[in-house]
A and B are shown apart, each in its own frame.
Chain A
Amino acid sequence: MSPHLKNIQLRQKQDMIFCYIGLLVLLFSFLTLITLIWDLAVTGVPRINILFFTNFPSRFAEQAGILSAWVGTLCVMITTAVFAIPLGIAAGIYLEEYAPKNFLTQMIEINISNLAGIPSITFGLMALGIFVYEFGFGRSILTAGLTLGLLVLPIIIVATRESIRTIPNSIREASFALGASRWQTIWNHVLPYSSGGILTGVIISLSRAIGETAPLITIGALTFIAFLPTSPIQPDFPFLSFQWLKDPFTVMPIQMFNWLSRPQADFHVNAAATGIVLLVMTLLMNGMAIYIRYRFRKKFNW
């Protein structure tokens, strides 16, 4: 025993050192997060009341609210979701279940991963050229939704593929052996069993999109806006209107940016309050993602 003792002590020490370093790093990042939230909360929370949500921005800090900002965020997020979710999931399914594994699909695969790493402002520049000028969508909710949609598309595609890949092949073979078509197999088995992972990816991608500022500034989102987009429900025939897609807008991070760039400290309080609202929304979405993942993991086990 004794000849090994020294060696064992040395290796135990190594283990301990790594353990402490890890703990220290973890504590540091955790403290940063806590400080950030605490600072924001102390400044911002007292400012949050009903009026803050129902008022338009104003020259007077204490009367200013985020009505146009949160309505804008909501509209943009809906457009993003409607555009990016079906497209991303369909692309993921195609790549994983239908596409032959060859050089071309490998290139597509690599480039989708690359796309996920492209700085978001680049997407803004591209959208300015294509959506705003080429297609003539203007500085509208539609342009913003499509831009953010493109931004999060790779995230959704990758999440879809990852969760589809966890379905054992034996399940697919069982379905095919009963005479099912590829689509029947996907619709009845592959998609339901992987929907937990797909939904998680979708929500995480949307919570990324909700905080994006740079590409929206590039396409020319307004920073001060005192009216709401056209209501989608109209009193006259045909009662539904998509005019809101063409309306100018602002979103919460831009509103925050706008307030922060003013010299008066009162506006900074408004910015902190907006930050809290944004943070709570993002955390809620992430929480939802975790819950959904947990639910589906319990539902399908093999």
Chain B
Amino acid sequence: MSSQLHNQSLIHKSDSAKAEALKLESPESNLLRAEVKKLSFSYGSKRVLNQVSMKIHSNKITAMIGPSGCGKTTLLRCFNRMHDLYSQVTYQGEILIYPEAKNILSKEIDPMEVRMRIGMVFQKPNPFPKSIYENVAFGLRVRGIRKKSYLEDRVEQSLQQAGLWTEVKDRLNSSATSLSGGQQQRVCIARALATQPEMLLLDEPTSALDPISTGNIEELIGELKKDVTIVLVTHNLHQAARCSDYTAFMYIGDLIEFGASGDLFTTPKDSRTENYITGRFG
């Protein structure tokens, strides 16, 4: 049943591209899930991202850090073409997703197709003012899935993955907006997981939450990486250091440094990275 969604995906896997992706496998057997290549992005005439290149490893957590306005959220929203909802935006460069090495920024690819493969959780919990069940099932309904038993299974599994099942299993039909902030954010995570995305984009998912909910969500993110590749934007350096496997430091639209989180936080190569993580600015 779980392969049903992948089969519905419009992207066909070509064997040669698959082989190429396998070649990129690093010594620690890190499969690539996505790769950003010389990506520049502008709102109108204002350039927000400048020739950014980075790799997203499969089943790892990649964190993006940097001071406000550095372009980390803009970069994240390129991954699911969220910018396409608004006018006057231009992309240059590419974001390839593997195993097909397909450029998701290409004009020929419908943003809907990208969003069906890459899920997103937003900064502020934004559940629909509907029942918990309907919130989690919406992504599946969008795909035309009506089979009740399948929907129920997926809703339960997703809520379990998001660590919310035991708390809400008796009130799936009550409104999602009546939950606490932390629970609402978990509903949003379950909602994104229900369609079994290949990648999950998290845009400062804990910035609107209290410390306890934040701790729970961080723990959850760590568990989720076995199922899904995660890209996490965060304001919180400690969170990046605690949760992530790779970290990208961005500053005014440039990617300053990218590497394994352990290295970046202990032995930063660039002085700006060092100044930022030691709290000298930002």
Q: Which residues in A have some Cβ–Cβ distance to B below 8 Å?
A: 100-101, 168, 170-181, 184, 188-189, 193, 299-302
Q: Is the CB of A177 within 8 A of B115?
A: yes
- Determine whether B191 belongs to the interface, using a CB cutoff of 8 Å to chain A: yes
Give 8 A-B pairs besides A178-B119, A178-B192 with Cβ atoms closer than 8 angstroms.
A172-B85, A173-B126, A176-B115, A177-B82, A179-B195, A180-B138, A299-B129, A301-B129
Residues on B with C-beta less than 8 A from A176 are: 82, 85, 115
Q: Is the CB of B124 within 8 A of A302?
A: no
Residues on A with C-beta less than 8 A from B120 are: 177
Q: List 13 A-B contacts (CB under 8 A).
A: A101-B87, A168-B126, A173-B85, A173-B122, A174-B122, A178-B115, A178-B192, A179-B113, A179-B116, A179-B142, A179-B143, A188-B141, A301-B129
**Residue of B whose beta carbon sits closest to that of A188:** B138
Q: Is the CB of B85 within 8 A of A302?
A: no
A188 and B128 CA atoms in complex are apart in Å by: 10
- Determine whether B222 belongs to the interface, using a CB cutoff of 8 Å to chain A: no
A170 and B113 CA atoms in complex are apart in Å by: 20
A175 and B87 CA atoms in complex are apart in Å by: 18
Residues on B with C-beta less than 8 A from A175 are: 128, 138
Residues on B with C-beta less than 8 A from A193 are: 129
Q: Is the CB of A301 within 8 A of B177?
A: yes
- Determine whether B188 belongs to the interface, using a CB cutoff of 8 Å to chain A: yes
- Shortest distance in angstroms between A196's beta carbon and chain B's nearest beta carbon? 12
Q: Is the CB of B128 within 8 A of A180?
A: no
A145 and B115 CA atoms in complex are apart in Å by: 45
Q: Is the CB of A179 within 8 A of B115?
A: yes
What is the interface size of chain B, counting residues whose CB is below 8 A from a CB of the partner? 26
- Determine whether B261 belongs to the interface, using a CB cutoff of 8 Å to chain A: no
- Shortest distance in angstroms between A149's beta carbon and chain B's nearest beta carbon? 32
Interface positions, chain B 212-231, Cβ under 8 Å from A, are none
Given A176-B85, A178-B192, A302-B177, do A170 and B139 touch, yes or no (CB 8 Å)? no
Residues on B with C-beta less than 8 A from A101 are: 87
Interface centre among A168, A170, A176, A184 (most CB of B within 10 A): A176
Residues on A with C-beta less than 8 A from B122 are: 170, 173-174, 177
Residues on B with C-beta less than 8 A from A180 are: 112, 138, 142
Residues on A with C-beta less than 8 A from B195 are: 178-179
- Determine whether B80 belongs to the interface, using a CB cutoff of 8 Å to chain A: yes
Interface positions, chain B 39-88, Cβ under 8 Å from A, are 80, 82, 85, 87
A173 and B76 CA atoms in complex are apart in Å by: 14
Interface positions, chain B 167-201, Cβ under 8 Å from A, are 177, 188, 191-192, 195
A53 and B128 CA atoms in complex are apart in Å by: 48
**Residue of A whose beta carbon sits closest to that of B114:** A179
**Residue of A whose beta carbon sits closest to that of B194:** A178
B110-152 to A contact mask, C-beta < 8 Å, 1/0: 0011011001101010111100000000110111000000000
A251 and B141 CA atoms in complex are apart in Å by: 47
Q: Is the CB of B128 within 8 A of A174?
A: yes
A168 and B126 CA atoms in complex are apart in Å by: 9
**Residue of B whose beta carbon sits closest to that of A300:** B129
Q: Is the CB of B82 within 8 A of A179?
A: no
Residues on B with C-beta less than 8 A from A171 are: 126, 128
- Shortest distance in angstroms between B127's beta carbon and chain A's nearest beta carbon? 8
Q: Is the CB of B177 within 8 A of A179?
A: no
Q: Is the CB of A179 within 8 A of B188?
A: no
Residues on B with C-beta less than 8 A from A189 are: 128
Residues on B with C-beta less than 8 A from A174 are: 122, 126-128, 188, 191
- Shortest distance in angstroms between A166's beta carbon and chain B's nearest beta carbon? 12
Contact of A181 among B112, B126, B127, B129 (CB under 8 A): B112
Interface centre among B85, B116, B127 (most CB of A within 10 A): B85
Contact of A178 among B124, B129, B177, B191 (CB under 8 A): B191
Q: Which 9 A/B pairs are nearest by Cβ-Cβ distance?
A: A179-B116, A178-B139, A170-B126, A177-B120, A300-B129, A179-B115, A180-B142, A174-B126, A302-B177
A177 and B121 CA atoms in complex are apart in Å by: 8
**Residue of A whose beta carbon sits closest to that of B139:** A178
**Residue of A whose beta carbon sits closest to that of B112:** A179
**Residue of A whose beta carbon sits closest to that of B81:** A176
Residues on A with C-beta less than 8 A from B141 are: 188
A188 and B142 CA atoms in complex are apart in Å by: 10
Residues on B with C-beta less than 8 A from A181 are: 112, 142
Q: Is the CB of A100 within 8 A of B143?
A: no
A176 and B114 CA atoms in complex are apart in Å by: 11
Q: Is the CB of B87 within 8 A of A178?
A: no
Residues on B with C-beta less than 8 A from A299 are: 129
Q: Is the CB of B129 within 8 A of A177?
A: no
Given A172-B85, A173-B82, A301-B177, do A178 and B142 touch, yes or no (CB 8 Å)? yes
Residues on B with C-beta less than 8 A from A188 are: 138, 141
Q: Is the CB of A302 within 8 A of B129?
A: yes
Contact of B124 among A170, A172, A184 (CB under 8 A): A170
Contact of B87 among A100, A168, A172 (CB under 8 A): A100
**Residue of B whose beta carbon sits closest to that of A178:** B139
Residues on B with C-beta less than 8 A from A173 are: 82, 85, 122, 126
A91 and B138 CA atoms in complex are apart in Å by: 27
Residues on A with C-beta less than 8 A from B87 are: 100-101
Residues on A with C-beta less than 8 A from B142 are: 178-181, 184
**Residue of A whose beta carbon sits closest to that of B134:** A188
